Structure 1
Amino acid sequence: MRAVVQRVDGASVSVPGESGPETVGEIRGEGLCVLVGVTHDDTPEKAAQLARKLWSVRMLADEKSCSDVDAPLLVISQFTLYGDARKGRRPTWNAAAPGPVAEPLVDEVVAQLRALGATVATGRFGAQMRVSLTNDGPFTVLVEV
């Protein structure tokens, strides 16, 4: 599993709705916005490992973690994290797990975070999403498990 983790001062994700964009996930104040990609050999154990890392990584102010200050996380699936653009002009997605494999593993990351005591907002798997955030720092880290 691969995650791009950004320290934020608020973040939200919206999807198209019948009467305009619908916000499906939002965190306010200091927290983490996490884009999660899944590859073919990922497992529920890796999802749990990623959740523990996200809950404890010291990326917030004064080298605190979300667990230290009960900061929220916004977790959004993003298969494009496994895109490969080394050859040609069009990325390939061969390393990204298909939806039926990836969706339960992203859900498992969220479930494991919540089991640890985290407040977690999410995007909508497979939807065309718009993510808005204020990157604080900027502070962005790539986490792989």
Structure 2
Amino acid sequence: ESISKMLACGTSILGVKYYTCGNEHCPHVKYLCNTCHCRACPSCGKKATDQWIAVQNNRLPDCPWQHLVFTLPDTLWPLFFYNRWLLDALFRLAADNLIYTAKRRGLRVGIFGALHTYGRRLNWHPHVHLSVTAGGLDEQGVWKN
């Protein structure tokens, strides 16, 4: 069903809205085809992603960020495939590692992340993406790089 909607996205198959000028003598009509609103759709999904990013950017501190990826050797992938509960531990270990390192320097850092279980080739490839502030607050609340 989702694939059918995506293929029909932006076409008249999903319906059409039309808008006319308020002036009854104006011949212009604007037709807009409905969209699928599917996350996987290249068009609709990008819009949703862009909107999500805008909201997050307003929530996050305005400072430099570092993007890090924590991966596992492929020999461990089956262990996580058959024991999905370990994925939570993988995520926590990655974040805790950064928090510990910052704490040793007397800093509190900001972190947000995402767990990805598949790679670009759509194969099972568990890994963690974390964004961490490039600096942090010291015990007095002063920003340190």
Q: TM-score, normalised by structure 2?
A: 0.30
TM-score normalised to structure 1 length: 0.30
Greater Rg over alpha carbons, structure: 2
Larger RCO: 1 or 2 (CA < 8 Å, sep 6+): 1
Higher percent of residues as strand: 1
